[in-house]
Structure 1
């Protein structure tokens, strides 16, 4: 018996059993011969009776030493049988534990697993040593000898008992080691239990994805990109079919889960493909309509700019000068992208069509914002020119509200809050002063008041945050 998995099982135990049976048969034969001799002695004359022991001893039969020798032989044989049983139990335990070690190493490559393998190998060497002592003790004493002396039998019994005790001690060490493998073995068995279901899920997922693609093709949609993704999973399926014995349990589990996820994604996308095609068709129509509407609106920007130039200072409209030309160019680019998107849709290049439609939407959004900015600018300038006081009151109310909040629960405001609020008051006063003169810059006034309100809102948020953090 060794610690390596490939060594065959030792035949020593069967040989010990055969020897034991032969020894018992020999002892029974000698006892019968002794009885026959006693009977014969009673029937023969005295001279013949004295001659028989010599003849009995010299005819190739076992010499009789009396009850003590036979007792020592029996005790030695009993020790031999006990050692053989201990040897068999140790060998069985080692074989069982080797299966556990192989289970762990198939799944786990952690330092703890490698340490378990190393410890098992060390125990294997200890087992080999104890087994060697047992075999040596068995081979050193032939308990079947006819002329076995009592002293030899006693020595055999001592050595065999010592070998049995050593085998038992090693078995005890092996059992303790086996108990310590519980967590590692449980983890390994759990992963092995997950392996077959995970691989089956991956296979079923691939089948479902393939069926979904077939269903899509029946609606005259090609889904070439999805088919390419599914084909790329073919080598992964081959590795799954080759098994964990070749690729390892952790790697096979990870591969099975990855294949199942990708196959499910393909199946879902294939199922949505008819809906996606319909959505793209709808977006093509909608964006074309919007582009046409923006073309009309872009033509209205120039009259708005003319009115701004006529009624307000240059600072109020100079940043809008590019809007008409930029709107026309954006709409032109959007129409070109729409044609490309239609071609991609006709070729069923769904990702390209989706990407192009996103570009069209971004162009039209930018154009819409620019055209709306010119119209909104005129409306706001008209309102402030007619009544600037409304903007002033709105801003002053925001400042006063922040000042009241800053003074709540305090006799003096926190300088971190008071300073920006005081600066905001001064800034508002300067903005109001800018309205005086022949050609006031109403746009500057509006941007300043808006900036003041943003600053005040920041101070309010800071005050509330500091008081909220101070609350227990």
Structure 2
């Protein structure tokens, strides 16, 4: 029993070290308790036998006590066997893993030192990606070395895995570094072209805004008053970022150049949105002015579809009045198109709001159960 208990105890210890979340020790505790109880009973019986022998007397119910203790020892040994067989795969795997942890840690440290050395000697050592990943390797190595003396196998293994991951990322950064210069050159060229296009597009903003003021009510373009200034600010910011990107590329720092071209693209996107907001507003309002009822017809058509869906799904009681109310909303906004300078933009915004509301109702109806007769 003692040998079996010792073997199982060692395996459980390994499992707790390697896979603490499996709580193998908790399952082992009652089995171990039975072993201790049986061993204690054996020791106590032995002491009583020795005392009886010294006193020259027979131990009362000696054979029965011996049988009871023997049975207790046998049952405890059997419990150890059953526990081990029931968890054999996990226990033996834990023992195997525990034995490899020191070797794993050493292998990972050797590999990390090799890649770290390559990074230090590389012509790309000053690239931000290489520097940051090298720092990550250094930090992971310090963590692993600090954990090794007295930490659990699980802790050491986790630290070794972190170091291995950091090493792979550093190796990837080194592998990608040679292509950064070409990528930066391409990005700078692309952004230069886009900047020129944005400036050309921006030239149309002022005339478009002037047309909005002449042709439509002031309320139709009040929210666009700052677009020309904001678009110019964004273009200038893009130009400045592009200039810094060129300088970084010339200084053999293509990664910084790439970051700066990304910033420049963001500014250009902002500038293009400012310009498009004005030119698209003018186009939208002119289209509505030429045929005011066309947009209303499209919303009414969408509303009829929603009403038919409510009927087909048996949801008229719940949604019929809600959808009918949208008819009145459409009628009311259509009646506002009067006077010398109707507020076409308010008309468009209200119809878009109604269309969005109808779409929301349709989505909710489709999620509800009901008869389908479409």
| 1:49-60 aligned within 5 A | none
| 1:191 equivalent in structure 2 | 94
Q: Residue 205 of structure 2 contacts residue 228 of structure 2 at CA under 8 Å; is this kept in 1?
A: yes
Shift of 1:376: 0.8
**Aligned partner of 2:230 among 326, 340, 360:** 326
For the residue of structure 1 that corresponds to 2:368, the secondary structure is helix
Shift of 1:106: 4.3
Q: Residue 97 of structure 1 contacts residue 178 of structure 1 at CA under 8 Å; is this kept in 2?
A: yes
State how many pairs are aligned.
360
Shift of 1:207: 4.6
Cα displacement string for residues 217-261 of structure 1 (whole angstroms, at most 9, x for unaligned residues): 67621122222111222234435765xxx3223333333333333
* Distance in 2 of aligned mates of 1:215 and 1:448: 64
Q: Residue 112 of structure 2 contacts residue 163 of structure 2 at CA under 8 Å; is this kept in 1?
A: no
* Distance in 1 of aligned mates of 2:176 and 2:102: 26
| 1:454 equivalent in structure 2 | 356
Distance 1:132 1:385, change over 3 A: same
| 1:238-317 aligned within 5 A | 238=145, 242=149, 246-276=150-180, 278-317=182-221
Shift of 1:128: 2.6
Shift of 1:170: 4.7
* Distance in 1 of aligned mates of 2:171 and 2:47: 63
| 2:266 equivalent in structure 1 | 362
- Is 1:397–2:301 an aligned residue pair? yes
Shift of 1:302: 0.9
* Distance in 2 of aligned mates of 1:175 and 1:305: 93
326-335 or 108-117, which deviates more:
108-117
* Distance in 1 of aligned mates of 2:5 and 2:303: 81
| 1:21-420 aligned within 5 A | 93-108=1-16, 110=23, 111-133=26-48, 140=54, 165=67, 168-182=70-84, 183=86, 186-197=89-100, 200=103, 203-208=106-111, 210-212=113-115, 220-222=123-125, 223-238=130-145, 242=149, 246-276=150-180, 278-341=182-245, 346=251, 348=253, 350=255, 356-408=260-312, 414-420=316-322
* Distance in 2 of aligned mates of 1:178 and 1:321: 84
Bigger RCO of structures 1 and 2 (CA < 8 A, at least 6 apart): 2
* Distance in 2 of aligned mates of 1:358 and 1:127: 79
Shift of 1:99: 3.4
* Distance in 2 of aligned mates of 1:467 and 1:162: 75
TM-score, with normalisation over the residues of structure 2?
A: 0.79
Distance 1:465 1:234, change over 3 A: closer
For the residue of structure 2 that corresponds to 1:181, the secondary structure is helix
For the residue of structure 1 that corresponds to 2:356, the secondary structure is helix
Larger Rg: 1
Q: Aligned Cα RMSD in Å?
A: 3.7
- Is 1:463–2:365 an aligned residue pair? yes
TM-score, with normalisation over the residues of structure 1?
A: 0.65
* Distance in 1 of aligned mates of 2:311 and 2:157: 65
Q: Residue 216 of structure 1 contacts residue 270 of structure 1 at CA under 8 Å; is this kept in 2?
A: yes
Shift of 1:127: 3.5
* Distance in 1 of aligned mates of 2:32 and 2:199: 77
Runs of 5+ consecutive residues of structure 2 not aligned to the other structure: none
* Distance in 2 of aligned mates of 1:319 and 1:159: 105
For the residue of structure 2 that corresponds to 1:461, the secondary structure is helix
Cα displacement string for residues 40-77 of structure 1 (whole angstroms, at most 9, x for unaligned residues): xxxxxxxxxxxxxxxxxxxxxxxxxxxxxxxxxxxxxx
Runs of 5+ consecutive residues of structure 1 not aligned to the other structure: 1-92, 142-151
Distance 1:339 1:213, change over 3 A: farther
Distance 1:199 1:348, change over 3 A: farther
